[in-house]
Chain A
């Protein structure tokens, strides 16, 4: 399931709902991304997340489909907020239910890695020096690219 919303979410309740009533689920893995008060050595007092309504949902659905093609998953949730957030606020929840833990761990990591490099969100941070757009990180590109290599190895 894909959800993009301005409102806060209750990650505990969302995780509890995932795969509820499905006895084939043997484990759930979840990642919650939060706003930090420090970014690139600079204090952050608030952050605004802009996105591309329409494409965001489509891109997240493509990423979710890719994960379901790669791993045997019972249920998936990608929940991403937009708008103005403050340090300590939740930004994103990725949760995966599977029969076994390895698929759940791997798919969860895959989903957040691809989301960070493909889904059309942009962060603008506010701090004592004013506001600035966050720059994409090479480390994130490398983390996402690992999964390309993994896919080609599986095909060999």
Chain B
């Protein structure tokens, strides 16, 4: 699975991407967030505030109960501010 981080989440995470092997018991976005927060302080900070967290799976914005699989691209970012 490829993880991507954007804007200030990227700065808190300390990297813009990481390729990981998804544990078999992680099956949805919320499970992935919970697992990542336990992996490093950076991820705990980047993913710590649900109100400021948006998630895209395979480049489409999804809800926290969306399923994830080992070949997915999962992106984490704050609410968007373009335009």
Tell me which of B8, B61, B82, B83 contacts A133 (CB under 8 A): B8
How many chain A residues touch B (CB < 8 A): the figure is 28
The yes or no answer to A38 lying at the interface (CB within 8 A) is no
Q: Would you list which residues of chain A between 107 and 156 have a CB under 8 Å from chain B?
A: 112, 115-124, 133-136, 140
Cα A136 to Cα B8 with chains together (Å) = 13
Report how far A122 CA is from B75 CA in the complex, Å.
14
Q: Is A52's CB under 8 angstroms from B83's CB?
A: no
- By the criterion CB–CB under 8 Å, are A92 and B82 in contact? yes
Given that A50-B6, A133-B8, A133-B78 are contacting pairs, would A121 and B56 also be in contact in the complex, using a CB cutoff of 8 Å? no
The answer to the question of B80 belonging to the interface, with a C-beta cut-off of 8 Å to chain A, is: yes
Is A36 among interface residues, defined by CB-CB distance under 8 A? no
- The interface size of chain B toward A, counting residues with CB under 8 Å, comes to 16
CB under 8 Å from chain A, chain B span 1-21: 4, 6-8
| Nearest chain B CB to A3 CB, angstrom units | 14
Q: Which among A92, A112, A122 is the interface contact of B80 at CB below 8 angstroms?
A: A122
Q: Residue A41 at the B interface, CB < 8 A?
A: no
- Do B80 and A121 touch (CB < 8 A)? yes
Q: Is B61 a contact of A123 with CB atoms below 8 Å?
A: no
Report if B60 contacts A (CB, 8 A): yes
**B41-80 at interface with A (beta carbon < 8 Å):** 56, 59-61, 75, 77-80
In the docked arrangement, what's the CA distance between A76 and B41, Å? 45
Q: Are A122 and B7 in contact (CB under 8 A)?
A: yes
> Closest Cβ of chain A: how far from B16's Cβ, in Å?
10
A117–B80 touching, CB < 8 Å: yes
Shortest beta-carbon distance, A108 to chain B, in Å?
13
Provide the residues of chain A in CB contact with B75, threshold 8 Å.
52, 55, 120
Q: With A52-B4, A52-B75, A52-B77 in contact, is A58–B82 under 8 Å at CB?
A: no
A–B complex contacts, Cβ < 8 Å, 11 sampled: A33-B83, A51-B82, A52-B56, A55-B60, A58-B60, A59-B59, A116-B82, A120-B80, A133-B78, A133-B81, A136-B81
